[in-house]
A = this chain, B = another copy of it.
Amino acid sequence: MDFENRIYSGTLKNRITSARDAAGLIRDGMTVACSGFTACGYPKAVPLVLADRVRRGETIRINLITGASVGEELDETLASLDIIARRYPYQTGPIIKRSINDGRIMYQDIHLSKLADQIRCGFLGRIDVAVIEATAILEDGSVVPTTSVGNSPVFIEQADRVIIEINTTQPAELTGMHDIFVPGRYPHRQPIPITDPAQRVGTTAVPCDPRKIAAICPCDIPDNPRPLAVVDEEARAIGHYLVEFINGAVRGRVCDDLPIFQSGVGTFANVVLEEILHSDWTDILLWAEVIQDGIFDLIDSGQLAFASGTSLTPSPEGLKRFYEHISRYRERIILRPQEVSNSSEVVGRLGLVTMNTAVEVDIYGNVNSSHLSGNMVINGIGGSGDFSRNALISIFMTPSTGREGAFSRIVPHVTHVDHTEHEVHVIITEQGVADLRGLDPRERAVRIIENCAHPRYREALMDYYSRALRRGGHTPMLLDEAFRWHLNYAEKGDMLPE
Protein backbone atom coordinates (compact mmCIF):
# COMPACT_ATOMS: atom_id res chain seq x y z
CA MET A 1 0.00 0.00 0.00
CA ASP A 2 1.68 3.18 -1.08
CA PHE A 3 2.35 6.36 0.84
CA GLU A 4 -0.51 8.61 -0.24
CA ASN A 5 -3.13 5.91 0.16
CA ARG A 6 -2.25 5.74 3.85
CA ILE A 7 -3.49 9.29 4.39
CA TYR A 8 -7.25 8.98 4.72
CA SER A 9 -7.85 12.70 5.21
CA GLY A 10 -8.11 14.60 1.93
CA THR A 11 -7.28 17.95 3.50
CA LEU A 12 -4.18 16.62 5.20
CA LYS A 13 -2.70 15.57 1.86
CA ASN A 14 -1.63 19.19 1.38
CA ARG A 15 0.82 18.70 4.30
CA ILE A 16 2.75 16.11 2.30
CA THR A 17 6.34 17.09 1.91
CA SER A 18 9.81 15.56 1.73
CA ALA A 19 11.68 14.39 4.82
CA ARG A 20 14.14 17.20 4.09
CA ASP A 21 11.47 19.90 4.21
CA ALA A 22 9.85 18.29 7.25
CA ALA A 23 13.18 18.29 9.06
CA GLY A 24 13.42 22.00 8.29
CA LEU A 25 10.94 22.56 11.13
CA ILE A 26 13.61 21.39 13.56
CA ARG A 27 16.06 24.05 14.55
CA ASP A 28 18.98 24.41 16.93
CA GLY A 29 17.92 24.52 20.59
CA MET A 30 14.58 22.81 20.16
CA THR A 31 13.10 20.00 22.22
CA VAL A 32 12.15 17.19 19.88
CA ALA A 33 10.03 14.21 20.94
CA CYS A 34 10.14 11.09 18.79
CA SER A 35 8.04 7.96 18.65
CA GLY A 36 9.77 4.66 19.29
CA PHE A 37 10.34 2.23 22.11
CA THR A 38 13.35 -0.02 21.51
CA ALA A 39 14.44 -0.18 17.86
CA CYS A 40 10.82 -0.32 16.70
CA GLY A 41 8.51 2.39 15.51
CA TYR A 42 10.97 5.30 15.66
CA PRO A 43 11.28 7.94 12.90
CA LYS A 44 14.21 7.38 10.56
CA ALA A 45 14.02 9.72 7.58
CA VAL A 46 13.81 13.04 9.43
CA PRO A 47 16.68 12.25 11.86
CA LEU A 48 18.92 11.23 8.97
CA VAL A 49 18.23 14.58 7.29
CA LEU A 50 19.17 16.37 10.50
CA ALA A 51 22.42 14.42 10.58
CA ASP A 52 23.05 15.35 6.98
CA ARG A 53 22.52 19.06 7.71
CA VAL A 54 25.06 18.90 10.52
CA ARG A 55 27.54 17.04 8.33
CA ARG A 56 27.22 19.94 5.89
CA GLY A 57 28.23 22.41 8.58
CA GLU A 58 25.01 23.49 10.27
CA THR A 59 25.00 23.65 14.07
CA ILE A 60 22.06 21.81 15.60
CA ARG A 61 21.81 20.74 19.24
CA ILE A 62 18.45 19.42 20.42
CA ASN A 63 16.90 17.88 23.50
CA LEU A 64 15.71 14.44 22.46
CA ILE A 65 12.83 12.67 24.19
CA THR A 66 11.52 9.26 23.18
CA GLY A 67 9.67 6.28 24.60
CA ALA A 68 12.79 4.35 25.55
CA SER A 69 15.82 3.34 23.52
CA VAL A 70 15.42 3.77 19.75
CA GLY A 71 17.20 2.60 16.62
CA GLU A 72 20.67 3.54 15.46
CA GLU A 73 19.47 6.11 12.92
CA LEU A 74 18.29 8.24 15.77
CA ASP A 75 20.43 7.87 18.93
CA GLU A 76 23.70 6.66 17.49
CA THR A 77 23.77 8.81 14.38
CA LEU A 78 22.78 12.00 16.18
CA ALA A 79 25.10 11.32 19.14
CA SER A 80 28.03 10.70 16.81
CA LEU A 81 27.50 14.20 15.40
CA ASP A 82 26.97 15.82 18.82
CA ILE A 83 23.41 16.79 17.94
CA ILE A 84 21.92 15.64 21.26
CA ALA A 85 22.29 18.12 24.12
CA ARG A 86 19.90 16.46 26.53
CA ARG A 87 18.27 13.02 26.48
CA TYR A 88 15.24 11.46 28.24
CA PRO A 89 14.26 8.81 29.43
CA TYR A 90 16.47 5.86 28.30
CA GLN A 91 19.04 4.98 25.66
CA THR A 92 21.07 2.13 24.22
CA GLY A 93 24.13 2.17 22.00
CA PRO A 94 27.88 2.49 22.38
CA ILE A 95 28.20 5.97 20.89
CA ILE A 96 25.44 7.68 22.84
CA LYS A 97 26.50 5.86 26.01
CA ARG A 98 30.06 7.16 25.62
CA SER A 99 28.79 10.70 25.06
CA ILE A 100 26.69 10.48 28.20
CA ASN A 101 29.49 9.09 30.35
CA ASP A 102 31.88 11.70 28.95
CA GLY A 103 29.48 14.49 29.90
CA ARG A 104 28.69 15.68 26.38
CA ILE A 105 25.05 14.67 26.72
CA MET A 106 23.00 15.45 29.82
CA TYR A 107 20.85 12.38 30.45
CA GLN A 108 18.21 11.70 33.04
CA ASP A 109 17.26 8.11 33.42
CA ILE A 110 13.51 8.18 34.24
CA HIS A 111 11.07 5.40 35.14
CA LEU A 112 9.44 4.79 31.75
CA SER A 113 5.90 4.92 33.13
CA LYS A 114 6.49 8.40 34.51
CA LEU A 115 7.73 10.34 31.52
CA ALA A 116 4.31 11.04 30.00
CA ASP A 117 3.04 12.78 33.12
CA GLN A 118 6.32 14.61 33.58
CA ILE A 119 5.84 16.07 30.10
CA ARG A 120 2.15 16.75 30.60
CA CYS A 121 2.92 18.56 33.84
CA GLY A 122 5.75 20.60 32.37
CA PHE A 123 8.74 19.09 34.21
CA LEU A 124 10.80 18.87 31.03
CA GLY A 125 9.73 22.10 29.34
CA ARG A 126 7.74 22.53 26.16
CA ILE A 127 8.00 20.16 23.22
CA ASP A 128 8.61 22.11 20.04
CA VAL A 129 8.25 19.29 17.56
CA ALA A 130 7.04 15.70 17.76
CA VAL A 131 8.24 13.33 15.04
CA ILE A 132 6.03 10.27 14.88
CA GLU A 133 6.36 7.20 12.72
CA ALA A 134 2.92 6.10 11.52
CA THR A 135 1.26 3.30 9.61
CA ALA A 136 -1.50 5.63 8.46
CA ILE A 137 -3.34 8.87 9.22
CA LEU A 138 -7.10 8.56 9.59
CA GLU A 139 -9.74 10.96 8.33
CA ASP A 140 -9.91 12.95 11.60
CA GLY A 141 -6.13 13.34 11.75
CA SER A 142 -5.60 10.57 14.26
CA VAL A 143 -2.40 8.63 13.83
CA VAL A 144 -2.01 4.85 13.61
CA PRO A 145 1.32 3.89 15.20
CA THR A 146 3.62 1.23 13.80
CA THR A 147 5.58 -1.34 15.81
CA SER A 148 5.50 0.62 19.06
CA VAL A 149 3.23 3.10 20.83
CA GLY A 150 5.59 4.36 23.55
CA ASN A 151 4.93 8.00 24.42
CA SER A 152 3.46 9.01 21.04
CA PRO A 153 0.05 9.97 22.50
CA VAL A 154 1.48 12.47 24.96
CA PHE A 155 4.03 13.77 22.45
CA ILE A 156 1.27 14.48 19.94
CA GLU A 157 -0.93 15.99 22.67
CA GLN A 158 1.78 18.29 24.01
CA ALA A 159 3.94 19.24 21.02
CA ASP A 160 3.51 22.58 19.29
CA ARG A 161 3.90 20.95 15.89
CA VAL A 162 3.80 17.36 14.69
CA ILE A 163 5.73 15.74 11.85
CA ILE A 164 4.40 12.38 10.68
CA GLU A 165 6.69 9.93 8.92
CA ILE A 166 4.53 7.38 7.17
CA ASN A 167 6.69 4.29 6.93
CA THR A 168 5.64 2.25 3.93
CA THR A 169 7.74 -0.72 5.02
CA GLN A 170 5.43 -1.16 7.98
CA PRO A 171 2.47 -3.38 7.03
CA ALA A 172 -0.94 -1.73 6.89
CA GLU A 173 -2.18 -4.71 8.93
CA LEU A 174 -0.66 -3.11 12.02
CA THR A 175 -3.84 -1.02 12.12
CA GLY A 176 -6.03 -2.32 14.90
CA MET A 177 -3.21 -3.77 17.02
CA HIS A 178 -3.02 -0.66 19.22
CA ASP A 179 -5.19 0.39 22.12
CA ILE A 180 -4.77 4.05 22.97
CA PHE A 181 -6.04 5.08 26.37
CA VAL A 182 -4.96 8.52 27.55
CA PRO A 183 -5.40 9.35 31.25
CA GLY A 184 -7.06 12.65 32.12
CA ARG A 185 -5.64 15.66 33.88
CA TYR A 186 -4.64 15.52 37.55
CA PRO A 187 -5.96 15.51 40.22
CA HIS A 188 -9.28 13.93 39.29
CA ARG A 189 -8.16 11.21 36.96
CA GLN A 190 -10.41 8.20 36.38
CA PRO A 191 -9.26 4.58 36.81
CA ILE A 192 -7.59 2.80 33.91
CA PRO A 193 -10.28 0.11 33.71
CA ILE A 194 -7.99 -2.75 32.67
CA THR A 195 -8.30 -6.05 34.55
CA ASP A 196 -6.99 -8.39 31.87
CA PRO A 197 -4.10 -8.09 29.36
CA ALA A 198 -6.47 -8.73 26.44
CA GLN A 199 -8.88 -5.97 27.37
CA ARG A 200 -9.36 -2.97 25.07
CA VAL A 201 -10.16 0.34 26.71
CA GLY A 202 -9.23 2.98 24.12
CA THR A 203 -9.06 3.82 20.45
CA THR A 204 -6.99 2.12 17.76
CA ALA A 205 -5.31 5.36 16.69
CA VAL A 206 -3.72 8.26 18.58
CA PRO A 207 -6.00 11.33 18.68
CA CYS A 208 -4.35 14.30 16.97
CA ASP A 209 -5.61 17.80 16.29
CA PRO A 210 -5.07 17.95 12.48
CA ARG A 211 -4.09 21.63 12.72
CA LYS A 212 -0.95 20.55 14.57
CA ILE A 213 0.25 18.31 11.76
CA ALA A 214 2.86 20.49 10.10
CA ALA A 215 4.35 17.94 7.73
CA ILE A 216 3.72 14.43 6.48
CA CYS A 217 6.62 12.71 4.78
CA PRO A 218 7.29 9.23 3.48
CA CYS A 219 9.89 6.86 4.88
CA ASP A 220 10.98 3.57 3.35
CA ILE A 221 13.64 2.60 5.86
CA PRO A 222 12.65 -0.52 7.80
CA ASP A 223 12.91 -0.96 11.55
CA ASN A 224 16.46 -1.88 12.44
CA PRO A 225 16.12 -4.15 15.46
CA ARG A 226 19.06 -5.58 17.36
CA PRO A 227 20.02 -9.22 16.91
CA LEU A 228 19.77 -11.54 19.89
CA ALA A 229 23.09 -12.50 21.43
CA VAL A 230 24.29 -16.08 21.46
CA VAL A 231 22.53 -18.04 24.17
CA ASP A 232 24.77 -19.61 26.72
CA GLU A 233 24.20 -22.41 29.15
CA GLU A 234 23.97 -20.02 32.09
CA ALA A 235 20.90 -18.36 30.64
CA ARG A 236 19.29 -21.76 30.03
CA ALA A 237 20.00 -22.83 33.60
CA ILE A 238 18.42 -19.65 34.92
CA GLY A 239 15.35 -20.20 32.74
CA HIS A 240 15.13 -23.75 34.06
CA TYR A 241 15.30 -22.58 37.69
CA LEU A 242 12.68 -19.95 36.99
CA VAL A 243 10.18 -22.47 35.68
CA GLU A 244 10.93 -24.75 38.61
CA PHE A 245 10.41 -21.90 41.08
CA ILE A 246 7.09 -20.88 39.56
CA ASN A 247 5.89 -24.48 39.54
CA GLY A 248 6.91 -25.13 43.11
CA ALA A 249 6.25 -21.85 44.89
CA VAL A 250 3.82 -19.78 42.84
CA ARG A 251 1.51 -21.82 40.60
CA GLY A 252 -1.78 -22.49 42.34
CA ARG A 253 -0.41 -21.01 45.55
CA VAL A 254 -0.51 -17.25 45.17
CA CYS A 255 -3.39 -17.31 42.69
CA ASP A 256 -5.65 -19.84 41.03
CA ASP A 257 -3.21 -21.25 38.48
CA LEU A 258 -0.50 -19.22 36.81
CA PRO A 259 -0.01 -15.55 37.68
CA ILE A 260 0.24 -12.91 34.97
CA PHE A 261 3.88 -12.44 33.97
CA GLN A 262 6.05 -9.52 33.00
CA SER A 263 9.25 -10.29 31.16
CA GLY A 264 12.04 -7.76 30.60
CA VAL A 265 13.99 -6.82 27.48
CA GLY A 266 16.88 -8.62 25.83
CA THR A 267 18.48 -11.94 25.02
CA PHE A 268 18.34 -13.10 28.58
CA ALA A 269 14.62 -12.53 28.99
CA ASN A 270 14.08 -14.22 25.66
CA VAL A 271 15.89 -17.37 26.77
CA VAL A 272 13.63 -17.52 29.80
CA LEU A 273 10.63 -17.40 27.47
CA GLU A 274 12.18 -20.28 25.54
CA GLU A 275 12.37 -22.31 28.73
CA ILE A 276 8.71 -21.61 29.38
CA LEU A 277 8.10 -23.13 25.94
CA HIS A 278 9.34 -26.42 27.38
CA SER A 279 7.02 -26.22 30.37
CA ASP A 280 3.47 -27.55 30.60
CA TRP A 281 2.12 -24.03 31.09
CA THR A 282 -0.92 -23.00 29.10
CA ASP A 283 -3.19 -19.97 28.94
CA ILE A 284 -0.18 -17.80 29.71
CA LEU A 285 -0.90 -14.08 30.07
CA LEU A 286 1.82 -11.49 29.67
CA TRP A 287 1.59 -7.86 30.75
CA ALA A 288 4.88 -6.28 29.80
CA GLU A 289 6.49 -3.46 27.89
CA VAL A 290 8.04 -5.50 25.07
CA ILE A 291 6.97 -8.40 22.87
CA GLN A 292 9.99 -10.46 21.93
CA ASP A 293 10.67 -13.49 19.72
CA GLY A 294 9.90 -15.87 22.57
CA ILE A 295 6.32 -14.60 22.61
CA PHE A 296 5.87 -15.57 18.96
CA ASP A 297 7.09 -19.06 19.88
CA LEU A 298 4.58 -19.26 22.72
CA ILE A 299 1.79 -18.15 20.37
CA ASP A 300 2.83 -20.80 17.84
CA SER A 301 2.94 -23.49 20.52
CA GLY A 302 -0.57 -22.54 21.64
CA GLN A 303 0.60 -21.78 25.20
CA LEU A 304 0.15 -18.02 25.18
CA ALA A 305 -3.35 -16.68 25.69
CA PHE A 306 -2.46 -13.01 25.30
CA ALA A 307 0.42 -10.54 25.47
CA SER A 308 0.11 -6.82 26.12
CA GLY A 309 3.04 -4.44 25.61
CA THR A 310 3.95 -1.04 24.30
CA SER A 311 6.36 -2.28 21.65
CA LEU A 312 7.50 -5.18 19.58
CA THR A 313 11.17 -5.86 20.18
CA PRO A 314 11.96 -8.79 17.95
CA SER A 315 15.29 -9.80 16.50
CA PRO A 316 15.71 -9.10 12.76
CA GLU A 317 14.49 -12.66 12.07
CA GLY A 318 11.68 -12.20 14.57
CA LEU A 319 10.50 -9.06 12.81
CA LYS A 320 10.45 -10.88 9.49
CA ARG A 321 8.48 -13.72 11.05
CA PHE A 322 6.04 -11.26 12.63
CA TYR A 323 5.42 -9.51 9.30
CA GLU A 324 4.88 -12.84 7.52
CA HIS A 325 2.33 -14.10 10.03
CA ILE A 326 0.92 -10.80 11.22
CA SER A 327 -2.69 -11.94 10.88
CA ARG A 328 -2.03 -14.75 13.36
CA TYR A 329 0.06 -12.79 15.84
CA ARG A 330 -2.15 -9.71 15.92
CA GLU A 331 -4.95 -11.77 17.40
CA ARG A 332 -2.95 -12.23 20.57
CA ILE A 333 -1.05 -8.97 20.95
CA ILE A 334 -2.07 -5.44 21.92
CA LEU A 335 0.30 -2.47 21.96
CA ARG A 336 -0.54 0.34 24.42
CA PRO A 337 0.93 3.69 25.48
CA GLN A 338 3.77 3.08 27.92
CA GLU A 339 2.01 5.10 30.61
CA VAL A 340 -0.58 2.28 30.51
CA SER A 341 1.65 -0.75 29.90
CA ASN A 342 3.99 0.32 32.71
CA SER A 343 1.47 2.05 34.95
CA SER A 344 1.69 1.46 38.68
CA GLU A 345 -2.06 1.18 38.73
CA VAL A 346 -2.40 -1.73 36.32
CA VAL A 347 0.80 -3.49 37.38
CA GLY A 348 -0.37 -3.45 40.99
CA ARG A 349 -3.87 -4.62 40.15
CA LEU A 350 -2.83 -7.55 37.97
CA GLY A 351 -0.58 -9.07 40.66
CA LEU A 352 2.34 -9.57 38.30
CA VAL A 353 5.24 -11.91 38.67
CA THR A 354 8.00 -9.82 37.12
CA MET A 355 11.22 -11.13 35.62
CA ASN A 356 14.00 -8.63 35.10
CA THR A 357 17.75 -8.71 34.68
CA ALA A 358 20.28 -7.38 37.19
CA VAL A 359 23.78 -6.07 36.52
CA GLU A 360 24.79 -6.92 40.08
CA VAL A 361 23.03 -7.87 43.29
CA ASP A 362 24.30 -7.53 46.82
CA ILE A 363 24.01 -10.01 49.63
CA TYR A 364 20.89 -8.27 50.91
CA GLY A 365 19.15 -8.26 47.56
CA ASN A 366 19.67 -4.66 46.48
CA VAL A 367 19.88 -4.60 42.68
CA ASN A 368 21.97 -2.46 40.37
CA SER A 369 20.55 -2.54 36.89
CA SER A 370 22.14 0.50 35.32
CA HIS A 371 25.77 1.24 36.25
CA LEU A 372 29.21 -0.34 35.98
CA SER A 373 31.69 0.43 38.73
CA GLY A 374 29.22 2.89 40.26
CA ASN A 375 29.87 5.68 37.79
CA MET A 376 29.41 4.46 34.19
CA VAL A 377 25.82 4.20 33.05
CA ILE A 378 25.04 1.32 30.71
CA ASN A 379 21.49 2.01 29.60
CA GLY A 380 19.24 2.99 32.47
CA ILE A 381 16.56 1.65 34.76
CA GLY A 382 14.04 1.50 31.92
CA GLY A 383 10.77 -0.11 32.90
CA SER A 384 12.26 -2.54 35.42
CA GLY A 385 11.30 -0.29 38.34
CA ASP A 386 7.80 0.24 37.03
CA PHE A 387 7.19 -3.48 37.14
CA SER A 388 9.25 -4.70 40.08
CA ARG A 389 8.18 -1.99 42.49
CA ASN A 390 4.51 -2.75 42.09
CA ALA A 391 4.77 -6.49 41.43
CA LEU A 392 3.32 -9.23 43.55
CA ILE A 393 6.57 -11.20 43.16
CA SER A 394 9.60 -9.47 41.74
CA ILE A 395 12.29 -11.79 40.38
CA PHE A 396 15.73 -10.62 39.28
CA MET A 397 17.98 -12.84 37.21
CA THR A 398 21.68 -12.65 36.47
CA PRO A 399 24.57 -15.01 35.77
CA SER A 400 26.58 -15.30 38.99
CA THR A 401 29.78 -14.01 37.36
CA GLY A 402 31.01 -11.99 34.41
CA ARG A 403 34.21 -11.62 32.35
CA GLU A 404 35.03 -15.29 32.52
CA GLY A 405 34.62 -15.35 36.23
CA ALA A 406 36.78 -12.31 37.00
CA PHE A 407 33.92 -10.57 38.68
CA SER A 408 31.08 -11.77 40.79
CA ARG A 409 27.65 -10.35 40.17
CA ILE A 410 26.81 -11.15 43.77
CA VAL A 411 28.77 -8.55 45.73
CA PRO A 412 29.04 -7.33 49.32
CA HIS A 413 27.50 -3.98 48.43
CA VAL A 414 26.15 -2.80 45.07
CA THR A 415 27.76 0.39 43.76
CA HIS A 416 24.45 1.80 42.52
CA VAL A 417 20.96 0.90 43.68
CA ASP A 418 18.07 0.83 41.23
CA HIS A 419 15.87 -1.64 43.08
CA THR A 420 16.03 -1.73 46.85
CA GLU A 421 15.86 -4.83 49.02
CA HIS A 422 12.20 -3.96 49.63
CA GLU A 423 11.14 -4.77 46.10
CA VAL A 424 13.39 -7.73 45.29
CA HIS A 425 11.72 -10.98 46.29
CA VAL A 426 13.65 -13.63 44.39
CA ILE A 427 17.15 -13.83 42.91
CA ILE A 428 18.01 -16.46 40.32
CA THR A 429 21.46 -17.24 38.95
CA GLU A 430 22.70 -20.33 37.13
CA GLN A 431 23.67 -21.58 40.60
CA GLY A 432 20.13 -21.59 41.94
CA VAL A 433 17.22 -19.67 43.43
CA ALA A 434 17.17 -17.47 46.54
CA ASP A 435 13.58 -16.96 47.61
CA LEU A 436 13.84 -13.98 49.93
CA ARG A 437 10.20 -13.55 50.85
CA GLY A 438 9.69 -13.01 54.56
CA LEU A 439 13.40 -13.08 55.40
CA ASP A 440 15.40 -10.77 57.63
CA PRO A 441 18.45 -9.22 55.87
CA ARG A 442 20.79 -11.59 57.74
CA GLU A 443 18.83 -14.58 56.51
CA ARG A 444 18.76 -13.09 53.02
CA ALA A 445 22.55 -12.79 52.99
CA VAL A 446 23.11 -16.44 53.83
CA ARG A 447 20.51 -17.61 51.34
CA ILE A 448 21.85 -15.48 48.49
CA ILE A 449 25.45 -16.50 49.14
CA GLU A 450 24.61 -20.20 49.45
CA ASN A 451 22.09 -20.47 46.62
CA CYS A 452 23.16 -17.88 44.06
CA ALA A 453 26.85 -16.96 44.36
CA HIS A 454 29.44 -18.71 42.22
CA PRO A 455 31.54 -21.23 44.19
CA ARG A 456 34.68 -19.18 43.48
CA TYR A 457 33.21 -16.27 45.50
CA ARG A 458 31.09 -18.03 48.08
CA GLU A 459 33.69 -18.31 50.80
CA ALA A 460 34.88 -14.73 50.40
CA LEU A 461 31.31 -13.45 50.53
CA MET A 462 30.64 -15.44 53.67
CA ASP A 463 33.88 -14.13 55.16
CA TYR A 464 32.81 -10.53 54.48
CA TYR A 465 29.36 -11.21 55.85
CA SER A 466 30.65 -12.94 59.00
CA ARG A 467 32.99 -10.08 59.82
CA ALA A 468 30.22 -7.55 59.13
CA LEU A 469 27.93 -9.55 61.39
CA ARG A 470 30.41 -9.12 64.24
CA ARG A 471 30.12 -5.35 63.78
CA GLY A 472 26.39 -5.91 64.27
CA GLY A 473 23.18 -4.39 63.04
CA HIS A 474 20.15 -5.43 61.08
CA THR A 475 21.97 -5.11 57.76
CA PRO A 476 25.60 -5.87 58.58
CA MET A 477 28.14 -4.02 56.45
CA LEU A 478 31.75 -2.90 56.59
CA LEU A 479 32.04 0.71 55.52
CA ASP A 480 35.72 0.41 54.62
CA GLU A 481 35.36 -2.81 52.62
CA ALA A 482 31.99 -2.40 50.94
CA PHE A 483 33.50 -1.59 47.52
CA ARG A 484 36.85 -3.40 47.95
CA TRP A 485 35.92 -5.99 45.34
CA HIS A 486 35.03 -3.34 42.79
CA LEU A 487 38.33 -1.59 43.45
CA ASN A 488 40.17 -4.87 43.00
CA TYR A 489 38.49 -5.39 39.68
CA ALA A 490 39.26 -1.84 38.55
CA GLU A 491 42.89 -2.09 39.63
CA LYS A 492 43.73 -5.73 38.96
CA GLY A 493 41.08 -7.03 36.58
CA ASP A 494 39.76 -9.49 39.14
CA MET A 495 37.48 -9.00 42.13
CA LEU A 496 39.46 -11.59 44.07
CA PRO A 497 43.04 -11.29 42.80
CA GLU A 498 45.36 -14.14 43.80
Q: CB distance A186 to B418 under 8 Å?
A: no
Among candidates B350, B375, B416, B479, residue contacting A472 with C-beta atoms closer than 8 Å: B375
CB of A288 within 8 Å of the partner chain: no
Render A371-415 as a binary contact track against B, CB cut-off 8 A, 1 for contact: 101111100010001000110100000000000000000000001
> Which B residue's beta carbon lies closest to that of A475?
B375
Nearest Cβ in chain B — how far from A114, in angstroms?
8
Q: Of residues A195, A260, A440, which shows the largest number of chain B Cβ atoms within 10 Å of its Cβ?
A: A440
Among candidates B100, B390, B483, residue contacting A390 with C-beta atoms closer than 8 Å: B390
Nearest Cβ in chain B — how far from A127, in angstroms?
13
Name the interface residues of A41-97: CB closer than 8 Å to any CB of B. 86, 88
Q: Which residues of B contact A260 (CB under 8 A)?
A: 187
Q: CB distance A422 to B185 under 8 Å?
A: no
> Which B residue's beta carbon lies closest to that of A488?
B479
Size of the A side of the interface (Cβ < 8 Å), in residues, is 89
Among candidates B117, B192, B392, B479, residue contacting A351 with C-beta atoms closer than 8 Å: B117
Render A335-378 as a binary contact track against B, CB cut-off 8 A, 1 for contact: 00000000111011111000000000000001000010111110
Q: Which residues of B contact A124 (CB under 8 A)?
A: 437-438
Q: Which of A136-144, A251-259, A325-333 contacts B (4 or more CB under 8 A)?
A: A251-259
Nearest Cβ in chain B — how far from A288, in angstroms?
14
Q: CB distance B483 to A392 under 8 Å?
A: no
Nearest Cβ in chain B — how far from A487, in angstroms?
5
> Which B residue's beta carbon lies closest to that of A250?
B121
Q: CB distance A117 to B392 under 8 Å?
A: yes
Contacts A188-B196, A422-B109, A442-B106 hold; do A479 and B415 have CB atoms under 8 A apart? yes
CB of A294 within 8 Å of the partner chain: no
Q: CB distance B348 to A474 under 8 Å?
A: no
Q: Which residues of B contact A473 (CB under 8 A)?
A: 101, 371, 373-377
Contacts A392-B121, A482-B483, A483-B482 hold; do A191 and B349 have CB atoms under 8 A apart? yes
> Which B residue's beta carbon lies closest to that of A190?
B195
Assembled-state Cα–Cα distance A122/B122 (Å)? 43
> Which B residue's beta carbon lies closest to that of A113?
B348
Nearest Cβ in chain B — how far from A464, in angstroms?
13
Name the interface residues of A251-283: CB closer than 8 Å to any CB of B. 253-256, 259-260
Q: Which residues of B contact A381 (CB under 8 A)?
A: 420, 422
CB of A246 within 8 Å of the partner chain: no
Q: CB distance A187 to B440 under 8 Å?
A: no
Assembled-state Cα–Cα distance A366/B118 (Å)? 19
Ordered by A's residue number, 19 sampled pairs between the chains whose C-beta atoms are within 8 Å are: A106-B439, A108-B438, A108-B439, A111-B423, A117-B351, A186-B259, A186-B351, A187-B259, A187-B350, A189-B351, A191-B191, A191-B349, A344-B347, A371-B473, A375-B475, A375-B477, A385-B420, A418-B422, A482-B482
Chain A residues proximal to chain B, CB less than 8 Å: 86, 88, 100-103, 106-111, 117-118, 121-125, 185-193, 195-196, 253-256, 259-260, 285, 343-345, 347-351, 366, 371, 373-377, 381, 385, 389-390, 392, 415-423, 437-443, 468-469, 471-477, 479-480, 482-483, 486-487, 490
Apart from A189-B351, A366-B417, A479-B490, what are 20 other A-B pairs with CB-CB below 8 Å? A86-B440, A88-B438, A106-B439, A106-B440, A108-B438, A108-B439, A108-B441, A110-B422, A118-B437, A186-B254, A187-B259, A187-B260, A187-B285, A187-B350, A343-B348, A345-B348, A374-B475, A374-B479, A385-B389, A415-B479
